[in-house]
Every structure is written in C-alpha cells, then in structure tokens.
C-alpha cells in the first residue's frame, strides 16, 4: 500500500488563483513529519514547508500553507496567489518514525505536475 | 545556503561497467541520502548514511552500494550497471538534531546505461 498518495497527476490553474495540491498519508506511528518539495523543470528539489504530527498549528511559509487534517491523514499544500514561476512538479513526503537524529529517509508521493496559465 | 554538488549532470555508461556517482555537501551535515527518480514513481530511497563509514539500506538497495569515507562526501556505486538502472539519481543531505530538518538536494545526475 502506498504511504503517500497524491491523487492529482496534473493541474492547470489560472495565474493569481489559489491552488490546493492534495496529499494523504498512511502511518501507524504517532510521530511523523510531512514535507512538501517543488521540482522545476531544471530538476533541483526545493524544500517548501514542513508539518510535524504534534504541531498544533498549520504550517505557513510565505505564500505556502499546509492544511493539516490529522484525523483524515491529509496534508494538502495551498499556494495563494499563484504565479507563472510556480509551474513545477510538487512532491509530498513523509518521514517516519519521527526520530531525533533525523537520519531516516523520506517516502515520497508520485507528485503533481502544476501548470500555471497566464 | 546549503550546497549539495553532484559530480555529473549527465552520464552515459555501458552494461556491466562499475559506475561511481559522487556527492559533496558543504554544510557539515551528518546525514546524507541517495534517491532515484523515475517517471510516475516519484523518488525512492536507495541508501542513506548518518555518520562517516555508516550506511543503512533504503527501500531499493539491490544492485547498489555506497561509501562514506569523509563527512562531506557520499558515493553511490553501481557494481555492474544494468539497463534498468537508467534513471535520475538525486543526492541529499540534512542536519541531525530533529525530525523537522529538511533534506537539501543536489541538481541530480541523469544516468543512461546502454
């Protein structure tokens, strides 16, 4: 069974609209971390935002916010006021167990290809 | 800024060759990782290391080995390259001290095995 599910293979959005990219996860561990990365066509993976399973508030970083619904095991990325430069692949990833050393690798979803149209 | 440098952006090798992919990070990070990325599959963890000379298998270690002789350098080795190892390979590093530490990635090596 997939641990990270991104149900939207691709999305087209008009510039300046808000975008929600879906991510659901599966874990039985109470401690885990969720990450979102952006991968432009140039190939580099860019860290966007992090949410810990015990965090009380939804994470925000500039135009990015994470809609964390723990009971639903959902961690959707919201991009406000989308820009042409937001066009990229977006990956949701999970680290489990939530270890102090942070040495565990990430489990990635298959990604969502977001295209922002002018 | 964290800099993770992979030695080659593109690489073409033949089946049966021994292939070395090199990765260097300049932020004194304890942890280093190797992933491969294939269309429709996302990224999959091959190996990681949390200290010099230490290594742990990820989800798909078969056909690969790694070496970490110095803290800043993590090498991925394809002992006898096969065509199904044609892929994009991504190296990453992170700091220890908390599960919230993000991994910082290099630009990737696109490897073709002919």
Tell me the C-alpha to C-alpha distance, in Å, between residue B64 and each of A94, A111, A114, B18, B78.
Answer: 23, 25, 33, 10, 5
Kindly list the residues from chain B whose CB atom is less than 8 angstroms away from the CB atom of residue A52: 99-100
Asked if A2 contacts A106 with a C-beta cutoff of 8 angstroms, the reply is: no
What does the pLDDT average to over A66-87?
A: 96
What would the pLDDT profile of B9-62 be if each residue is shown by its tens digit? 999 999 999 999 999 999 999 999 999 999 888 899 999 998 899 998 988 999
pLDDT at A60 over 80: yes
**Containing H/E element for B91?**
strand B87-94
Q: Nearest-CA distance from A98 to chain B in Å?
A: 5
Arithmetic mean of pLDDT, A80-92: 96
- pLDDT, residue A103, reads 58
Interface test with A, best of B102, B106, B109 (most A CBs within 10 A): B102
Residue A7 pLDDT level (bands cut at 50, 70, 90): very high
DSSP code, position B108: -
State whether B107 and A44 contact (CB < 8 Å). Answer: yes
Q: What is the pLDDT of residue B105?
A: 94
DSSP assignments along A20-59, one per residue = EE--EE--S-S--EEEEEEE-TT---EEEEEEETT-SS--
What pLDDT does residue A1 have?
Answer: 60
Q: Whole-angstrom Cα distance, residue B106 to residue A1?
A: 29
Work out the mean pLDDT of chain A and round it to a whole number. 91
Contact assessment for residue B70 and residue B86, using Cβ atoms and an 8 Å cutoff:
no
What is the predicted pLDDT for the residue at A100?
44
When CB atoms are compared, the residue of B40, B50, B103 closest to A101 is B50
Residue with tokens 């990229």: A88
% pLDDT > 70, chain A: 92
Q: Which residue has the tokens 């990782």?
A: B33
A29: pLDDT strictly greater than 50: yes
């Amino acid at each position: 069974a997939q641990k990270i599910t991104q149900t939207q293979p691709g999305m087209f959005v008009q510039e300046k609209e808000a975008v929600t990219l879906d991510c659901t996860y599966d874990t039985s561990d109470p401690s885990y971390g969720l990450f979102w990365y952006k991968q432009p066509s140039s190939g580099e993976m860019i860290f966007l935002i992090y949410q810990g399973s015990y965090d009380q508030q939804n994470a925000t970083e500039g135009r990015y916010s994470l809609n964390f619904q723990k009971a639903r095991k959902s961690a959707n990325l919201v991009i406000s006021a989308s820009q042409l430069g937001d066009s990229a692949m977006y990956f949701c990833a999970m680290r489990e167990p939530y270890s102090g050393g942070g040495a565990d690798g990430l489990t990635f979803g298959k990604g969502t290809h977001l295209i922002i149209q002018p | 800024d964290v800099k993770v440098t992979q030695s080659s952006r593109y690489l073409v090798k033949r089946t049966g060759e021994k292939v070395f992919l090199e990765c260097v990070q300049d932020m004194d990070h304890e942890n280093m990782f190797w992933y491969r990325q294939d269309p429709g599959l996302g990224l999959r963890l091959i190996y990681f290391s949390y200290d010099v000379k230490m290594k742990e298998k990820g989800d798909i270690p078969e056909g690969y080995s790694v070496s970490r002789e110095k803290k800043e350098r993590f090498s991925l080795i394809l002992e006898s390259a096969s065509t199904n190892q044609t892929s994009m390979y991504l190296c990453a590093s992170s700091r220890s001290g908390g599960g919230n530490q993000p991994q910082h990635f290099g630009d990737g090596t696109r490897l073709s095995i002919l």
